[in-house]
């Protein structure tokens, strides 16, 4: 028997060495080399006896002790096992290979890269390449994918890769239908938040802007729509008055009848998607108000032909944005009026940024704000949102609002808004 095998047999036959060698192996794996010390607590009588024999010290009154790996190795070299590989002895006694943590980490990283690289090969597209880049670089937004990978939820990740490789869809599909096709469950993407995260990551790469997690329902609906997916095309609507619509080069009779009847109608996203053009029945201006009460009050005052008026009902639904986009394709001007608070200014700025010079701010002066003032305070959290207002035409109002810290409402401008429409139109 060679010295290595003899050493392994020697230490293996003594149970008192096993716990010590387990601790040695853990320390070596942690450091990546032989070094440091290990602590044994609640020493058994066997362990005390073997340590006494090995180091020539009395351990009978000790309940714990610290053992240096280097000292143990040097003592090993003073026995008949001089020159044997201490690592190999430990591995032989324990019956397992010592794996350095650095090596294990590297192997896991290589496995992760192979997994996602395989998904790109299986579902090749610009979208999957962008998502993989984000995940492998551990960029913001990718943590959910990393967690799913670490939890071996590989099927969930693959479904997302399969889906985004198909986007954008040429023909729009409803989200439940797409989910059923991909996962056999119409509600699958309702429960799988990483799908929306993937789209947000991809969009940030496409737009060359930092990733931002936005869970606002309408923002998510708009994002899905941009990739050809409809989440809710019936309850998502916008209210119109005094407009005409064209489909297949023909004016829609239903819209013409509504005009003649002076009727308001709610137009769902489902129908908006069918129309080629939408424009004011008369004139070349369209007026948009945020609040339904203001919308109805203006119509209550008016007695003539229908005014080209739209109501978005607060935060912009996708239907409202799609309608405005169609209007922007026409040679018209669009006037927007909303409430006087930081959220209202953000909405106005969003329209301007998205649709440019077609959008005109309607009664957004400091004087208009002061007339509309209420006694309701703006919270510190809400005030902080004014920092994001950068549109030049809104800066004076932004600064005054920061100073006054009170909300203002459109309802105090109903008569003035109506007069504006009549004069401008």
Containing 265, the helix (H) or strand (E) segment is: strand 265-268
Distance CA 392, CA 382 (A): 20
CB contact set of 290 (below 8 Å; sequence gap of 6+): 311, 312, 313, 314, 337, 338, 339, 344, 347, 410
Determine the angle formed by the axes of helices 342-355 and 395-404, rounding to 10 degrees.
170
* Residue 143 · residue 175 · CB < 8 Å: no
Half-sphere exposure at residue 395, Cβ-oriented, CA atoms within 13 angstroms: 4
β-pair type (285-289, 277-280): unpaired
| H-assigned helices in 187-302 | 188-191, 194-207, 217-226, 253-260, 269-272, 292-301
Task: Going residue by residue through the chain, which has 425 residues, state the pLDDT in tens, using 9 for 90 and above.
Answer: 588 999 999 999 988 899 999 999 988 888 878 889 999 999 999 999 999 999 889 999 999 999 999 999 999 998 989 989 998 999 999 999 887 766 667 778 889 999 999 999 999 999 999 999 999 999 999 999 999 999 999 999 999 999 999 999 999 999 999 999 999 999 999 888 899 999 999 999 999 999 999 888 888 999 999 999 998 888 899 999 999 999 999 999 999 999 999 999 999 999 998 999 999 999 999 999 999 999 999 999 998 889 999 999 999 999 999 999 999 999 999 999 999 999 999 999 999 999 999 999 999 999 999 999 999 999 999 999 999 999 999 999 999 999 999 999 999 999 999 999 999 86
The pLDDT value given to residue 215: 86
* Residue 28 · residue 14 · CB < 8 Å: no
Residue 298, token pair as written in the block:
């203006």
* Residue 409 · residue 375 · CB < 8 Å: no
Which SS3 state, helix, strand or coil, does residue 134 take?
A: helix
Q: Is the peptide bond before 168 cis (omega within 30 degrees of 0)?
A: yes
The pLDDT value given to residue 377: 97
The whole-model pTM stands at 0.67
Which SS3 state, helix, strand or coil, does residue 85 take?
A: coil
For residue 209, count other CB atoms closer than 10 A to its CB.
9
What is the rounded end-to-end Cα distance, in angstroms, of the chain? Answer: 106
Which SS3 state, helix, strand or coil, does residue 32 take?
A: coil
Domain with CATH 3.40.1360.10 in the chain: 237-424
Distance CA 346, CA 354 (A): 12
CB contact set of 106 (below 8 Å; sequence gap of 6+): none
Nearest to 421 by CA among 295, 297, 286: 286
| DSSP 8-class letter at 169 | P
The per-residue b/e assignment along 88-124, b for 16 or more CB within 10 angstroms, e otherwise, is: ebbbbbbeeebeeeeeeeeeeeeeeeeebeebbeebe
> What is the DSSP track for 308-350?
-EEE--SSPPHHHHHHHHHHHTSS-EEEEE--BSHHHHHHHHH
The pLDDT value given to residue 362: 97
Residue 313, token pair as written in the block:
């009902």
Residue 314, token pair as written in the block:
């607060």
In CATH, the number for domain 237-424 is 3.40.1360.10
For residue 261, count other CB atoms closer than 10 A to its CB.
10
The pLDDT value given to residue 179: 94
Distance CA 344, CA 47 (A): 75
Which SS3 state, helix, strand or coil, does residue 285 take?
A: strand
């Amino acid at each position: 028997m060679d010295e290595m095998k003899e050493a392994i047999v020697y230490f293996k036959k003594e149970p008192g060495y096993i716990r010590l060698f387990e601790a040695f192996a853990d320390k070596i794996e942690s450091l990546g080399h032989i070094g440091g010390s290990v602590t044994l607590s609640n020493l058994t009588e066997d362990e005390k006896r073997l340590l006494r024999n090995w180091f020539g010290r009395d351990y009978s009154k000790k309940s714990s002790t610290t053992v240096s790996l280097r000292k143990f190795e040097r003592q090993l070299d003073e026995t008949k096992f001089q020159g044997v590989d201490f690592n190999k002895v430990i591995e032989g006694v324990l019956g397992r290979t010592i794996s350095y943590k650095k090596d294990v980490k590297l192997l896991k990283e290589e496995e992760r890269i192979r997994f996602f690289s395989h998904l790109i090969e299986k579902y090749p597209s610009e979208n999957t390449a962008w998502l993989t880049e984000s995940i492998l670089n551990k960029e913001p937004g990718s943590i959910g994918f990393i967690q799913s990978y670490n939890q071996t939820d590989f099927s969930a990740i693959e479904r997302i890769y399969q889906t985004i490789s198909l986007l954008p869809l040429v023909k729009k599909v409803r989200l439940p239908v797409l989910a059923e096709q991909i996962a056999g469950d119409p509600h699958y993407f309702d429960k799988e938040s990483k799908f929306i995260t993937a789209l947000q990551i991809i969009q940030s790469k496409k737009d060359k802007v930092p990733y931002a997690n936005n869970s606002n329902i309408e923002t998510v609906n708009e994002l899905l729509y941009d990739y050809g997916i409809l989440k809710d095309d019936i309850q998502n609507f916008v209210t119109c008055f005094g407009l005409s619509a064209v489909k297949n080069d023909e004016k829609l009779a239903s819209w013409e009848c509504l005009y003649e009847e002076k009727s308001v109608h709610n137009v769902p996203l489902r129908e908006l998607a069918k129309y080629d053009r939408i424009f004011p029945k008369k004139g070349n201006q369209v007026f948009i108000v945020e609040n339904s009460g203001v919308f109805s009050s203006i119509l209550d005052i008016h007695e003539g032909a229908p005014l080209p008026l739209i109501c978005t009902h607060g935060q912009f639904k996708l239907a409202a944005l799609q309608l405005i986009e169609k209007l922007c394709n026409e040679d018209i001007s669009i006037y927007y009026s909303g409430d006087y608070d930081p959220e209202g200014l953000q909405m106005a700025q969003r329209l301007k940024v998205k649709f440019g010079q077609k959008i005109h701010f309607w009664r957004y002066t400091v004087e208009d704000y002061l007339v509309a003032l209420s006694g309701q305070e703006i919270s510190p959290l809400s005030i902080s949102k004014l920092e994001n207002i950068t549109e030049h035409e809104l800066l004076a109002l932004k600064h005054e609002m920061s100073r006054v810290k009170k909300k203002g409402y459109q309802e105090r401008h109903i008569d003035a808004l109506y007069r504006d429409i009549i004069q401008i139109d």
